[in-house]
Amino acid sequence: MSTTLAELARLVEGRVQGDGERRIEAVRTLESAGPNDLSFLTNPRYRAAAAASAAGAVLVGEPASGLGGVDLLVAKDPYLALARILSHLHPQPKPAPGIHPSAIVDGNARIDAAASVGAGCIIGRDSRIEADVVLHPGVVVGEGCEIGSGSELHPGVVLYARTSIGRRCIIHGGAVLGSDGFGFATHAGGHEKIPQLGRVVIEDDVEIGANTTIDRAMLEETRIGAGTKIDNLVQIGHNVQIGAGSLLAGQSGVAGSANLGKGTILAGQAGVAGHLEIGDGARVAAASAVFKSVPAGSTVAGIPAREVGAWRREQALIRRLAELQRRLKAVEEALAEKGDQGD
Amino acid sequence: MSTTLAELARLVEGRVQGDGERRIEAVRTLESAGPNDLSFLTNPRYRAAAAASAAGAVLVGEPASGLGGVDLLVAKDPYLALARILSHLHPQPKPAPGIHPSAIVDGNARIDAAASVGAGCIIGRDSRIEADVVLHPGVVVGEGCEIGSGSELHPGVVLYARTSIGRRCIIHGGAVLGSDGFGFATHAGGHEKIPQLGRVVIEDDVEIGANTTIDRAMLEETRIGAGTKIDNLVQIGHNVQIGAGSLLAGQSGVAGSANLGKGTILAGQAGVAGHLEIGDGARVAAASAVFKSVPAGSTVAGIPAREVGAWRREQALIRRLAELQRRLKAVEEALAEKGDQGD
Amino acid sequence: MSTTLAELARLVEGRVQGDGERRIEAVRTLESAGPNDLSFLTNPRYRAAAAASAAGAVLVGEPASGLGGVDLLVAKDPYLALARILSHLHPQPKPAPGIHPSAIVDGNARIDAAASVGAGCIIGRDSRIEADVVLHPGVVVGEGCEIGSGSELHPGVVLYARTSIGRRCIIHGGAVLGSDGFGFATHAGGHEKIPQLGRVVIEDDVEIGANTTIDRAMLEETRIGAGTKIDNLVQIGHNVQIGAGSLLAGQSGVAGSANLGKGTILAGQAGVAGHLEIGDGARVAAASAVFKSVPAGSTVAGIPAREVGAWRREQALIRRLAELQRRLKAVEEALAEKGDQGD
C-alpha cells in the first residue's frame, strides 16, 4: 500500500514539516529505512540514529526540532500515531471463516458461522464461540467456555472448562487459562487439595502473552479487567482481580487473592504477594517484590517493595557504606587520641 | 447437593454453634453467600467481611468467637475442613473411560480399559497408562512413559520419552516433563551439548502447575517426591531431587543437581542455585535467591538468601541508614568543634 | 555398546592412568556406577563421592591425583570429554523420515523427503522444512516459516508466521517463537496495540528450552545468534538481538530492544531491561536485574546490577551494619561523656 506523508498526517491528526507529497510505502526502522519509507523517533535515545538515517521521512513528537533536512511527520503522540500508521499501511489478513475438517467440535458447542476454527482445534461441550473469532490451529477449548466476538486465540492456547473470554481479546500461544489455583490444606505432613471450583473471566480488549498462566478461582472468578494487557510468562493466581487498563510485563506474577486496581503497572519480573490491595494507578518497578498493600497512585520498588523515592535514597546510601565506615573509623581514632591526651 | 450444618460438622469432626438443622446447598465467598450457603473465615484478614456477610453459616477455627449471631461450623483446622466440605458438596465429574477416535495411540502402548484418553492425544510406543487415568485433549506422551492409576493430565501436557508419573498425580496444562537439561561443555568459544540421557520420575500424589518445566537428568533421574505440590511456571533443572511433601510456589526455580529435602517450601519467584542441599523442612521466602546450602528446618530470605531473622534486622538497619549518616555527621562536627576548642 | 578405556582415551585425546584394556559399557553417576562403567569427576565438590565410588574407571581433569587405585581416564577438559563419550556410547535414534498420516500439511508447504513430521503436526502455507529435520508430534508451524536441515522441534512447539530456524537447532517442548511483542501506545487511559509486523530469526546451532517465549520484532527481526543456548521459561522481548555463543539460564528475561553481545551469559532468573547494550562476554549473576548498559567483559550482580566486586563489598558492609550502628552509639556516648566532663 502506498500513500503520501500528507495523507498519513491527516490519519494521525499531525502535520508535515517538509514535503507532504512524498510517497511512503512502508514503515521501517531508522537503520533500514530508505527514501520511500517512514521511520520514527519515539525514544530520544535513538536521536543520533535518526539523524544518520536514510529514511525519506521521520515521525516525531512535538516540539519537532530538525533532523538534518529530512521530511518530518509531527504528531502530538508519536507512538500512538505509529500504531495507527502501521495498522493503516500493513493491514493483517484474517483467516477465512469456517471450521477446519480436522477440528473436533462437540455436538453441543455453538460456533458462529463467521468464526474461524483452525486445524486440530478441540472444542468442548456447551462452549459458545461468537462471530469473527479466530482460533488458530491446535487450540483446546474446554466445556462451557465463551469466546466473545472478534477475539483471536493463537496456537496451543488451553482454556479449562467455563473460562469466559470477552470481545476483541488476543490470547497468545501456549497460554493456559483456568488451571487450578495452588490451594492445599496441610494436615499431618500431607497437603490436601482444596477443590478449585471457580473460573476465569477475561473482559473485553484484553491481550495475554505467550505461555502465561491464569488460575481459576477457588469458588467464583479470577477476573482480568477490560483493556488490560499481560505479557509473556506471567503468573496470575486464583481469585485475583485485576482492574481495567492495567499493564503486566513479562515474567511478573500476582499471588492468590490479590486485588490490583485500575491502570496498575507491574514491570518485568515484579511480584505481588497474596491477599494484597494494589491501588488504582499504582506502579511496581521491575524485579521488585510487593509484600504489603500499595496505595493508589504510588510507585514502589525493591525487595521488599517500598516507595520508589525511599528505595532510591537507600540505594544511594548503600553505595556510600564504605565511605561511612571509613568516616566512623576516623572518628573513633580521633576520639581515642583525645582520650589518650586527656589521660 | 443439599445437606445440613450438623451433617457437615460430622464430616469434618467439628461442631455447630447455632442451628445444626440449617440447610446448606453450596459453599460461597463471604461477599456472595446467602442464607442457604456456608462461607468460611480461614484468614483473620477477612474478619470484618465475615461479620458483614449474609451467609447462613460460617466455617471458623477454634477458638470460635461470635460473628453477630450467624450460625458457626467450628473445626479444629478450618482450611482442611473446607477442603473436605468442597469435595463433598461439589463432586467433580470425570470423563468416561475410553479412547477418543481422534487420539493416535501406538500399537505397542498399553492403555487400561478404565483410562480415558481425550481427543487429539498422542501416545508413544511402549507407554503404559493405568486404570482411571484421565488424559484431557491434546496431551502428548512420548515413548516408554508410565502413568500411574488415577492420574490426570490436562490439555497440552508434554511427556518426553521414559517419563514416569505415579498414582493420583495432577499435571496441569502445558507442563513439559523430561526436556533436556541445560548442560554444555564450552570449548573454543562454542558450547558442545552434553547428551541428556536420564529421565523424570514423578512419585505418587504430586500436583504440577500449568506451563511448569522439569528437565530430565543427564544420566539417571530427576525425581519429585510423593505428595509434593508444584505451582505454575516453575523451572526444575536436571538431576534435581525434591523430597516428599514439598511446596514450590509460582515462578520459583531450582537449578541443576540441587537436592531439596522433605517438606521444603519455596515461596513465589524464589530460586535455588545448582548443586546445593536444602535440608528437610527448610523454607525460602518469596523473591529470594539461595546461593549456598540451607540447613534443615531453617528459613532464609533475601538475595543472597540468609537466615530470615538476620535478613529482617538488616532490612531494618538499611531503613535507618539516613539516620546513621546524620548521626555520624553530628559526631564529626562535635569532634571538629572540640578540636577547635582544644587548639 | 562396549569399548575399552584406551579407545575412549583416543576419542577424547586423553590418557589412561591404569588399565587401558578395562571394558566400559556405560557412563553412570558416581553413586550408581559399577566395574564396567565409567563415571566422572568434573566438579571438585564431589571428590569424596568419587573416592567412594564403585566405578571401574573415572574421568578426571589434569592434574590427575589418584582416587584410591581406580583406573583414570585423564582429559584436559573432562566436561567436554564427557560430552563426546556420552554421544559415542549412547547414540540417540532419530525417527524415520516421512510425514505421519495425521499431520496436516498445507499444499504449498515444502517438506524435504528426508524430514520427519510427527503425528498431529500442522504445517502452514509456504513453509519450508529441510532435510533431516525432526518435528515431534503436535508441533504447529505457521505460514511462511523456514526450518533448516538437522533441526529438531519437540512436542507442542509453536512457530508463528515467518519464523526462521537455522540448521541443527533444538527447540524444546512448548516453546513459542514469534508471538507479538508487548507494545502499546497509551492514550486517554487505553492501551492501543502497536502492530507487531516483524519476525523471529534463530541462527544455526541454537538450543531453546521448554516453554521459552521469543517475541517477533515490531518491524524487522528479533535475532538469536548462532550457537546460543537458551534454557527453559526464558522471555525474550521484541527486537532483541542476542550475539553468537551466548548462554541464557532458566527463567531469565530480556526486555524489548535490548542488544546482547557475543558470548554473554545471563544466570538463572536474571533480567535485562529494555533498550540496553550488554557488551561481548558480559555476565549477569543469578537473580540480578540490569537497569543500565553493561561494558564488554564485565560481570554484574544485584538489583540494580553493578560490577560484581562492588556488589560483593556492599553485601559485606550490609552484613556489618549492626556493628557499625553499635560503634556509632559508642562514639556518641564517649562524646557525650567528654562533653559532660568538659562542662
User: Which residues in chain B are closer than 8 Å to A122, comparing Cβ atoms?
Assistant: 118-120, 137-138, 155
Listed by number, the residues of chain A in 270-309 with a beta carbon closer than 8 Å to a beta carbon of chain B are: 271, 273, 275, 289, 291, 303-304
Catalytic residue set of A:
238
Query: Can you give the C-alpha Rg of chain B in angstroms?
Result: 27
The β-bridge partners of C210 are: none
**Cell representation of residue B332:** 564529626
Cβ contact (<8 Å) for B317 and C325? yes
Indicate if the pLDDT at residue A220 is higher than 80: yes
CA C29 and chain centroid, separation: 22
Give the integer Cα–Cα distance in Å for A313 and A79: 32
Residue B56's pLDDT is what? 93
Residue A97's pLDDT is what? 98
* Best A140, A251, A320 residue to mutate vs chain C (most C CBs within 10 Å): A251
Q: Do residues C127 and C106 lie in contact, with contact meaning Cβ atoms separated by under 8 Å?
A: yes
Give the integer Cα–Cα distance in Å for B327 and A172: 55
Range from A187-191, B115-119, B151-155, C262-266 carrying the lowest mean pLDDT = A187-191
Q: Is C211 left (phi over 0), alpha (psi -120 to 50) or beta?
A: left
3-state helix, strand, coil in chain A (%, to 5): 20, 30, 50
Give the integer Cα–Cα distance in Å for B165 and B187: 37
User: Which residues in chain B are closer than 8 Å to A338, comparing Cβ atoms?
Assistant: 338, 342
User: Cβ of B232 under 8 Å from any chain C Cβ?
Assistant: no
* Best A193, A232, A327 residue to mutate vs chain B (most B CBs within 10 Å): A193
Range from C71-80, C150-159, C168-177 carrying the lowest mean pLDDT = C71-80
The dihedral sign for the CA sequence B34, B35, B37, B41: positive
What 8-state DSSP symbol labels residue C294?
A: B
Residue A341's pLDDT is what? 64
Indicate if the pLDDT at residue C342 is higher than 60: no
Residue C32's pLDDT is what? 93
Give the integer Cα–Cα distance in Å for C106 and C98: 15
Q: Tell me the average pLDDT of chain C.
A: 95
**Average pLDDT of the segment spanning A54-79:** 88
For C191-213, how does the pLDDT look when each residue is reduced to its tens digit (9 = 90+)? 999 999 999 999 999 999 999 99
Work out the number of other CB atoms within 10 angstroms of the CB of residue C113: 8
Question: Strand, helix or coil at B186?
Answer: strand
Give the integer Cα–Cα distance in Å for B31 and B58: 12
Q: Do residues A178 and A201 lie in contact, with contact meaning Cβ atoms separated by under 8 Å?
A: no
**Least CB-CB distance to C32: which of B213, B215, B220?**
B220
For A97-153, how does the pLDDT look when each residue is reduced to its tens digit (9 = 90+)? 999 999 999 999 999 999 999 999 999 999 999 999 999 999 999 999 999 999 999
Torsion angle (degrees, nearest 10) of CA B205, B209, B210, B215: -90
Residue C228's pLDDT is what? 98
Cα separations (Å) of B323 from A314, B317, B320, C242, C325?
11, 10, 5, 44, 10
DSSP B63-103: S----TT-EEEEESSHHHHHHHHHHHHSPPP-PPSEE-TT-
User: Cβ of B327 under 8 Å from any chain C Cβ?
Assistant: yes
Q: Is A84 left (phi over 0), alpha (psi -120 to 50) or beta?
A: alpha
Give the integer Cα–Cα distance in Å for B260 and B266: 10
Amino acid at C248: L
Listed by number, the residues of chain C in 133-172 with a beta carbon closer than 8 Å to a beta carbon of chain A are: 138, 140, 142, 156, 158, 160
The β-bridge partners of B37 are: B26
Angle of CA points A33, A36, A39, to nearest 5°: 40
Q: Do residues B250 and B270 lie in contact, with contact meaning Cβ atoms separated by under 8 Å?
A: no
Cβ contact (<8 Å) for C195 and A120? no
Of residues A249, A299, A156, the one with CA closest to residue B140: A156
Cβ contact (<8 Å) for B251 and A255? no
Amino acid at B20: G
If 0-12 CB within 10 Å is exposed, 13-18 middle and 19+ buried, where does residue C325 land? middle
B136 given a catalytic annotation: no
Give the count of Cβ contacts less than 8 A between chain A and B: 178
Cβ-Cβ contacts under 8 Å for C214 (sequence gap 6 or more): C175, C176, C177, C178, C179, C200, C202, C208, C222, C224, C236
Give the integer Cα–Cα distance in Å for C183 and B8: 52
User: Cβ of C329 under 8 Å from any chain A Cβ?
Assistant: no
- Give residue for cell 521414559: B162
Residue B53's pLDDT is what? 92
Work out the number of other CB atoms within 10 angstroms of the CB of residue A314: 19
User: Cβ of C190 under 8 Å from any chain A Cβ?
Assistant: yes
* Best C126, C127, C194, C320 residue to mutate vs chain A (most A CBs within 10 Å): C194
Query: What percentage of residues in chain A have a pLDDT greater than 70?
Result: 98
pLDDT band at A177 (very low <50, low <70, confident <90, very high): very high
The β-bridge partners of B229 are: B207, B247
The minimum CA-CA distance between C245 and chain B, rounded to whole Å, is: 6
Residue B340's pLDDT is what? 67
Of residues A263, A261, A291, the one with CA closest to residue A278: A261
Of residues A130, A105, A133, the one with CA closest to residue A119: A105
Quickly list H helices, chain A.
Answer: 5-11, 47-52, 78-89, 308-319, 321-342
Prediction ipTM score: 0.96
Query: What percentage of residues in chain C have a pLDDT greater than 70?
Result: 98
For C307-339, how does the pLDDT look when each residue is reduced to its tens digit (9 = 90+)? 999 999 999 999 999 999 999 999 999 988 877
**Cell representation of residue B58:** 460460617
Give the integer Cα–Cα distance in Å for A156 and A159: 10
Work out the number of other CB atoms within 10 angstroms of the CB of residue C34: 13
Residue in chain B lying closest to A217 (CA): B29
Q: Do residues A58 and A74 lie in contact, with contact meaning Cβ atoms separated by under 8 Å?
A: no
Backbone angles phi and psi of A248, in degrees to 5: -120, 115
The minimum CA-CA distance between B125 and chain C, rounded to whole Å, is: 12
Residue C314's pLDDT is what? 95
Could you give the maximum distance between any two Cα atoms of chain A, in Å? Answer: 100
Residue in chain A lying closest to B229 (CA): A191
Work out the number of other CB atoms within 10 angstroms of the CB of residue A131: 14
What 8-state DSSP symbol labels residue C91?
A: P
User: Cβ of B331 under 8 Å from any chain A Cβ?
Assistant: yes
Listed by number, the residues of chain B in 48-87 with a beta carbon closer than 8 Å to a beta carbon of chain A are: 77, 79-80, 82-84, 86-87
> Counting every residue, how long is chain C?
343
Question: Strand, helix or coil at A201?
Answer: strand
**Least CB-CB distance to A32: which of C180, C220, C237?**
C220
* Best A126, A157, A291, A303 residue to mutate vs chain B (most B CBs within 10 Å): A303
**Least CB-CB distance to A271: which of B155, B207, B286?**
B286
Could you give the maximum distance between any two Cα atoms of chain B, in Å? Answer: 100
**Least CB-CB distance to B77: which of A185, A193, A314?**
A185
> ω into residue A137 within 30 of 0, thus cis?
no
Residue C227's pLDDT is what? 98
**Least CB-CB distance to B83: which of A142, A192, A320?**
A192
Question: Strand, helix or coil at B218?
Answer: coil
**Average pLDDT of the segment spanning A203-217:** 98
Backbone angles phi and psi of B328, in degrees to 5: -65, -40
Residue in chain B lying closest to C26 (CA): B219
For C25-53, how does the pLDDT look when each residue is reduced to its tens digit (9 = 90+)? 999 999 999 999 999 998 888 888 888 89
The minimum CA-CA distance between B279 and chain C, rounded to whole Å, is: 18
Query: Which mean pLDDT values do the consecutive 10-residue runs of chain B (343 residues) have?
Result: 92 95 94 94 86 93 78 94 94 93 97 98 98 98 98 98 98 98 93 97 98 97 98 98 98 98 98 98 98 98 98 95 93 84 55
User: Cβ of B261 under 8 Å from any chain A Cβ?
Assistant: no
Angle of CA points C34, C38, C41, to nearest 5°: 110
Cβ-Cβ contacts under 8 Å for C223 (sequence gap 6 or more): C200, C201, C202, C203, C240, C241, C242
User: CB-hemisphere CA count at 13 Å for C334?
Assistant: 21
Give the integer Cα–Cα distance in Å for A271 and A290: 6
The β-bridge partners of A306 are: A301
